[in-house]
């Protein structure tokens, strides 16, 4: 049994929380020991970490994390950093060793700026929208398998942002993803108020119109609680985007709980490739016909896992996904 399958087998599904068309199902399980790392937000606030360009000239797909803390720092797949020459998102989760400077792989989410507005980058308090994370994650897995690099398709990342901005009638002089969130901050707050962590919640599985949108799992409940607002903003932006589309005939979907159980079952059975991590641990890349994603593992401990329906990484948004159809088949066998 793989570490992902083994970890998922120890979890249970909590009670669904729903706001508008977005549903959160908590993933419940005992914390796997004390979290012996700091999250980036905490490290930056404590003044023992800095995130900078790799040089005065800078390069788009890389940043440097200077960790002067006594503990490793955990940076999470998709979380956004703003400032320096342009805003970026993490291409995958990285555990930066204590007392080290580590170069991390990132993608730009601000196509129209390449000039420094600050010497260092700061946390934006959000993750990239879920559909964009899915496509980025899939491309990073392809890049790692084919070329040994952790690159996204940068043009695709920019196109995702541009198309979403057009649909959501958001304008930005630098084509920044940040504008999407600021333009809809009041509506996003409704989702933040509706979704709260529960006891022993180590993860969150989000569904949009009863179809799985994203799944994030952590080793510790405290990590999940601290990160949940970023994930809510990520998925809520996709929910607002979907609500602006022309309504189509409703498809028949399984319940949120059935869809969630089916997704986790497929995820547990999906092939995983293992690579040395950028910092500490190992990168696990999840690549299958129905699920895509990645995970960070250290000493047989799953620190962070993120997974998405493969259809989301292919841009299929308006018709029932492969995972939804798999969920219907799963329900038929129940």
pLDDT score at 245: 58
Is the per-residue pLDDT at 192 higher than 70?
yes
Is the per-residue pLDDT at 1 higher than 90?
no
pLDDT score at 320: 33
State the pLDDT confidence band at 180, using cuts at 50, 70 and 90: very high
pLDDT score at 313: 63
> What is the rounded average pLDDT of the residues 98-106?
98
State the pLDDT confidence band at 334, using cuts at 50, 70 and 90: very low
pLDDT > 90 in the chain, percent: 85
pLDDT score at 34: 76
CA separation for the pair 136, 313 (Å, rounded): 7
pLDDT for 278-318, tens place per residue?
999 999 999 999 999 999 999 889 999 999 998 666 654 43
pLDDT score at 248: 47
Is the per-residue pLDDT at 29 higher than 70?
yes
> What is the rounded average pLDDT of the residues 240-254?
64
> What is the rounded average pLDDT of the residues 156-161?
97
Paired strand residues for 103: 64
State the pLDDT confidence band at 70, using cuts at 50, 70 and 90: very high
> What is the rounded average pLDDT of the residues 56-80?
97
Q: Which residues of 265-297 are buried (b: 16+ CB within 10 A; e: fewer)?
A: ebbbebebeeeebbbbbbbbbbbeebbbbbbbb
CA separation for the pair 109, 177 (Å, rounded): 6
Is the per-residue pLDDT at 10 higher than 80?
yes
159 class by beta-carbon count within 10 Å (0-12 exposed, 13-18 middle, 19+ buried): middle
Please state, rounded to an integer, the average pLDDT across all residues of the chain. 91
pLDDT score at 280: 97
State the pLDDT confidence band at 2, using cuts at 50, 70 and 90: confident
pLDDT score at 252: 52
Query: What tokens appear for 159 in the block?
Result: 């196109």
pLDDT score at 318: 36
Is the per-residue pLDDT at 323 higher than 80?
no
């Amino acid at each position: 049994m793989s570490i992902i399958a083994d970890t998922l087998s120890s979890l249970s599904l909590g009670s669904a929380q729903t706001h508008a068309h977005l549903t959160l199902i908590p993933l419940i399980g005992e914390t796997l020991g004390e979290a012996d790392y700091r999250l980036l937000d905490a490290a930056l606030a404590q003044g023992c970490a800095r995130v900078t360009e790799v040089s005065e000239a800078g390069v788009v797909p890389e940043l440097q994390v200077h960790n002067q803390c006594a503990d490793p720092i955990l940076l999470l797949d998709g979380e956004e950093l703003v400032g320096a020459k342009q805003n970026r998102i993490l291409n995958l989760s990285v555990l930066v060793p204590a007392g080290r400077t580590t170069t991390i792989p990132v993608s730009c989410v601000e196509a129209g700026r390449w000039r420094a507005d600050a010497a260092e980058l700061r946390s934006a308090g959000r993750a990239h929208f879920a559909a964009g994370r899915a496509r980025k994650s899939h491309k990073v897995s392809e890049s790692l398998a084919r070329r040994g690099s952790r690159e996204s398709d940068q043009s695709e990342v920019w196109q995702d942002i541009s198309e979403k901005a057009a649909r959501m009638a958001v304008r930005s002089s630098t084509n920044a993803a940040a504008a999407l969130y600021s333009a809809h901050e009041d509506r996003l707050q409704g989702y933040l108020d509706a979704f709260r962590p529960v006891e022993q919640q180590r993860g969150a599985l989000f569904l949009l119109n009863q179809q799985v949108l994203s799944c994030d799992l952590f080793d510790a409940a405290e990590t999940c609680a601290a990160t949940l607002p970023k994930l809510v903003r990520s998925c809520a932006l996709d929910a607002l985007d979907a609500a602006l589309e022309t309504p189509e005939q409703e498809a028949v979907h399984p319940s949120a709980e059935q869809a969630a159980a089916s997704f986790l079952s497929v995820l547990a059975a999906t092939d995983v490739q293992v690579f040395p991590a950028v910092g500490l641990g190992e990168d696990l890349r999840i690549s299958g016909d129905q699920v895509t994603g990645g995970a960070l593992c250290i000493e047989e401990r799953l620190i962070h896992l993120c997974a998405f329906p493969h259809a989301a990484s292919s841009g299929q948004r308006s018709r029932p996904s492969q995972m939804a159809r798999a969920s219907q088949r799963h329900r038929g066998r129940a």
